[in-house]
Chain A
Amino acid sequence: MASLWPQFGDDGVLVRTPMVLFREQADFLNAQFDGLITGKVEQKKAPMNETVDVMFYIVAPTLSYRYKLFQASYGFIDIYPVSVFVDSDIAIEFDRNVDIIIKTSNEEELKSTLTKIFNSKKCRRVLSGIRSNLVT
């Protein structure tokens, strides 16, 4: 019997998962600080596999320190929209002063949200605090 499946692999570009994007950004942080400060992406244990919940940490391995920067949630099958949860300290960059959920409907929007988070005063303050502790 012949295969009844259609031919896969030539029907468009595969969507990159946010996990891949986050790990890339973690690697960029690692490279910038020669491994003294790095990013870590962890998937939350979930009872169902319908959604993927991931947390992004800033980590200083030599200090045994980590700071949770944000959390994101997306569908296992339908990846977008990706919900990014940021607390009020960062939400201020989005003109809000409470914890917020930012819904991003494609990779470009997700990248734009990440740019805002990584460039937020809070994120800079955390990185600066870690660097001071590394020096002392």
Chain B
Amino acid sequence: MNFLLWNTHGKNLGGMIARIAIYKDVDFIVLCEAEDHCQQILLALNTSSSAMFYLANTIGCERITLFTRFKPEFCIAIEETSRFTIRHVCLPGLDSFVLVAAHLPSRLYADENDQHGHCMDLSTAIRRVEGQVGHERTIVMGDLNLDPFSPGMTSAKGLNAVMSLKQALKRSRSFNGEKYPLFYNPMWSHFGDLPNGPTGTYFRDSNGLCDTFWHMIDQVLFRPDVAIRFLSSSLEILTTDGQNSLIHPKGHPDKRKASDHLPVTFSVSL
């Protein structure tokens, strides 16, 4: 099963999304800031690709747009806020899984404590839904507006996401006598210049005292039951749509031609 995540910067990038969908044989597309263009994107997808895509509408979370090759009735919305949608995906013949798509507040509008609070709320909602559906085969993907090392990502009460698969396979950790289930965060492996891909998913120039300039705010997390089915080599931060570059000559995401975020694709063997 192949997934695409992209914050499209409020632009109609239907052509590019359709090319990525073909090039990466995508089954699920999670877009942030695409709500004003979902019909055009759907049209582009279904004009370009031989596979039929459906818009799996959210009821209350306009910030997220979800397209899938499967009929929307297989992707049931269980819990939503304006910031996230949690789906129970039940495809015939496959193990069901929980798909969480989120677009959390930016640092422009929320301080670190507020962001941590949003992660805690999201984490609580995920655990409640996991209790409801009776398993922990959960995938989180979204523009979380946080780096993997932020407190909201790493705290037990937040998303509790760790950089090591071995650590994540311990399933949970305790804090103050209470157990909190872990997520595996493979985005850690894509920081810096060593991998072939770009240094992050988002670039922001800064004159501040401390800044990493590149940020990994578009993230993918897996519960251990999905992490073992995740193909680590499949996780890519894309620099092209298969035809056109998404990178500015200066080396950062080209927001004039595409978006200020780079898309992320990955595969899970469900």
Interface residues of B in 29-82 (CB under 8 A from A): 57, 59-60, 62, 76-82
**Interface check A125, CB cutoff 8 A:** yes
**Interface check A105, CB cutoff 8 A:** no
- Find out whether the CB atom of B132 lies under 8 angstroms from the CB atom of A67: no
CB of B172, distance to nearest CB on chain A (Å): 17
Task: Give the complex CA separation of A76 and B121 in angstroms.
Answer: 22
In the complex, chain A residues whose CB is within 8 Å of the CB of B77: 63, 65
Known: A64-B76, A64-B132. A129 touches B82 (CB 8 A): no
Known: A67-B60, A129-B59, A130-B59. A99 touches B109 (CB 8 A): yes
Q: Give the nearest-CB partner of B132 in chain A.
A: A64
Name A residues whose Cβ lies closer than 8 Å to a Cβ of B: 63-68, 87-90, 98-99, 122, 125-126, 129-130, 133
**Interface check B83, CB cutoff 8 A:** yes
Task: Give the complex CA separation of A98 and B110 in angstroms.
Answer: 9
In the complex, chain B residues whose CB is within 8 Å of the CB of A67: 59-60, 79-81
Task: Give the complex CA separation of A129 and B125 in angstroms.
Answer: 20
Task: Give the complex CA separation of A125 and B60 in angstroms.
Answer: 7
Q: Give the nearest-CB partner of B176 in chain A.
A: A47
In the complex, chain B residues whose CB is within 8 Å of the CB of A129: 57, 59-60
- Find out whether the CB atom of B81 lies under 8 angstroms from the CB atom of A68: yes
In the complex, chain A residues whose CB is within 8 Å of the CB of B15: none
Q: Give the nearest-CB partner of B105 in chain A.
A: A99
Known: A99-B110, A125-B60, A126-B59. A66 touches B83 (CB 8 A): no
